[in-house]
Structure 1
Amino acid sequence: MRLRIDLSYDGGGYHGWARQPDLRTVQGELEHALATILRLADEREVRVTVAGRTDTGVHALGQVCHVDISPEVLDSCIGHMQANGVEALERRLKHVLPDDIVIRSISRAPDGFDARFSALERTYVYRICDEGRPVDPRMRGFVTAIPDRLDLGLMNEAARMTIGLHDFGSFATPNPGGTTIREVKRAHWGRIPDAPLVSGDSDTAGYRVSVLESGLVCFTIVADAFAHNMVRSLVNACVQVGRGRKSLDWFAHKMAEPVREGSTGPIDARGLTLEHVSYPPDDELAARAEAIRAKRTLE
């Protein structure tokens, strides 16, 4: 039986998603919890496949993964609960996992579902506090501070160059046997307006409280998939343009000549969050997975 797991996590305390020996990772914590609940002697008996492998320090709000479990093993976690195996697993996982990983839902996956290869789009958001303004201490783990005021007009001109099917070799490294060719659907910089949590008449003026993200600069990017370090390297390049340190011609050259070099390295991980992963209708899941496994080209 294939199960879909929707989860969120604060990546600040993890060495990324992927399991690594002797390091704390999201996959490692999740698989350890699953093996414990399902009473498996060897954690290698349960492996989760994720939609997007986040790097060290990167967060996720809408991460998706799948795991294959036999019905007999799944039912073993019911115990005295008045619930089916899926409901029992969800309740126990929520109890066992650390506080920085939150299970949003667990469901039986439809036929053909693959968390990684069936995905249509992934949405990331990068948050910046610019102009040297103090970062709200409640957001310090999710926002990157920049001392200069960023020119969002120039940054959006750069971001528009990324939309479409391109080789992002200047901003990413491929997996073994893979490519850095990706299709960006949307890329936009914007500043969150200073909005009150409670709106009303003059009677509430003395109790004005701003929305937590008010004033932050946010970069939203949507693509079919992302190569390693691609989002943070694109953000860093746009920020260099927005600070006046690099020109739009420089950015255009990096898009035209996909060669990695020092000035297009990744920016700080803390500002990046995987916000959402979208999938096609159930009857198109298998076909999508089969198509995306093919090696990409620019044709």
Structure 2
Amino acid sequence: MDLAYDGGGFKGWARQPALRTVQGDLEAALATALRLPEVQVVCAGRTDTGVHARGQVVHVDVDAEVLEATAGRAAPTPLASLHRRLNGILATDVRIHGVSEAPEGFDARFSAVWRRYAYRVADTPDLHDPLMRNHVLAWRAPLDLDAMNEASRMLIGLKDFAAFCKKREGATTIRTLLDFHWYRDADERAVATVRADAFCHSMVRALVGCMLAVGDGRKSPQWAHDVLVNGKRDAAVAVVAPHGLTLEEVGYPPAGQLALQAEKARARREHTEEELHHG
């Protein structure tokens, strides 16, 4: 399933007791549509509280007999029926854009080879649009995108991003940052494109916060690299607000490589966790 959501009304993606989450709403809608007591889904990237998505990807295991038995007569196929029913059940801040049978070996999380986020910033008063206040960060000073791109380039590659991640027990902070650059969109807002094999907690928002300090002249481009090398959280690196961040796209290998990619990703995770467990 391909889906989009406005994260403003959710306490993040992951299911939490007594709190509204995207996973909780989606699983409840699936259980209703499929007439099952419960359903569990797997997503490509677990977004934090207030973070949006245009290109989230989810998989769920469903028996063909269940699909057939719950399909409506108006839709041409059981999957089309499920698609229509889900959008009828879900609140309008979540939309299912597509439902299809997954290729053999597909795993929404472990088959993914990269995730791409965008962060949007309005850096002059005339760009502070109140109608976009829940999706664009209003910044206090004009930004030098050339300086920000110079700093961003220094962080690309396979590196330890401990300085930009909220530490979690048993979790590695080593990631491959594939792309990190800034540009002006059609409305002259500053937009960061951040693409990596995976992200650790708060990584994108910390990277953006670091670049804003460079862009408004408080820090030099070299400082961003120094923060990375130092490997510790720097008080000058603000973790910016979540509402400017959107999961835009998830990349997968060709169908014949999906199972292999998932196997490799699981092995890397288990190997890293074992290393951490043994010190």
Q: TM-score, normalised by structure 2?
A: 0.92
The CA distance in 2 between the partners of 1:187 and 1:134, in whole Å, is 23
CA-to-aligned-CA distance 1:206-236 (integer Å, 9 cap, x gap): xxxxxxxx11000111111111110000000
CA-to-aligned-CA distance 1:59-104 (integer Å, 9 cap, x gap): 1011101001112222222143453321211110011111011110
CA-to-aligned-CA distance 1:164-202 (integer Å, 9 cap, x gap): 101100001355422111111111111224xxxxxxxxx
- Is 1:63 the counterpart of 2:56? The answer is yes
Q: 1:109 aligns with which of 102, 105, 109?
A: 102
Paired amino acid for 1:103: I
- Is 1:73 the counterpart of 2:66? The answer is yes
The CA distance in 2 between the partners of 1:68 and 1:176, in whole Å, is 30
- Is 1:30 the counterpart of 2:26? The answer is yes
Q: 2:84 aligns with which of 87, 91, 101?
A: 91
Match of 1:286 in 2: 259
C-alpha contact 1:6 1:103 (8 A) present in aligned 2: yes
Paired amino acid for 1:274: L
C-alpha contact 1:163 1:184 (8 A) present in aligned 2: yes
**Local SS of the residue matching 1:54:** coil
Spell out the pairing of 1:192-271 with structure 2 (5 A cutoff). 192-193=185-186, 214-271=187-244
Paired amino acid for 1:256: V
Larger radius of gyration: 1
Aligned length: 270
Q: 1:100 aligns with which of 87, 93, 96?
A: 93
Paired amino acid for 2:194: I
C-alpha RMSD of matched pairs (Å): 1.6
Match of 1:168 in 2: 161
- From the two aligned structures, give the one with the greater helix fraction: 2
The CA distance in 2 between the partners of 1:40 and 1:160, in whole Å, is 49
Match of 2:9 in 1: 13
How far off its partner does 1:265 sit? 3.9
Match of 1:138 in 2: 131
Q: Structure 1: state its 5+ residue gaps.
A: 194-213
Q: Structure 2: state its 5+ residue gaps.
A: 273-279
C-alpha contact 1:133 1:147 (8 A) present in aligned 2: no
Match of 1:277 in 2: 250
C-alpha contact 1:161 1:255 (8 A) present in aligned 2: no
How far off its partner does 1:110 sit? 0.5
The CA distance in 2 between the partners of 1:249 and 1:81, in whole Å, is 60
Distance 1:176 1:77, change over 3 A: farther
Determine what percentage of the aligned residue pairs are the same residue: 51
- Is 1:53 the counterpart of 2:26? The answer is no
Distance 1:14 1:82, change over 3 A: closer
How far off its partner does 1:242 sit? 1.1
The CA distance in 2 between the partners of 1:146 and 1:265, in whole Å, is 13
- Which stretch shows the higher mean deviation, 115-124 or 175-184? 175-184
Spell out the pairing of 1:110-125 with structure 2 (5 A cutoff). 110-125=103-118
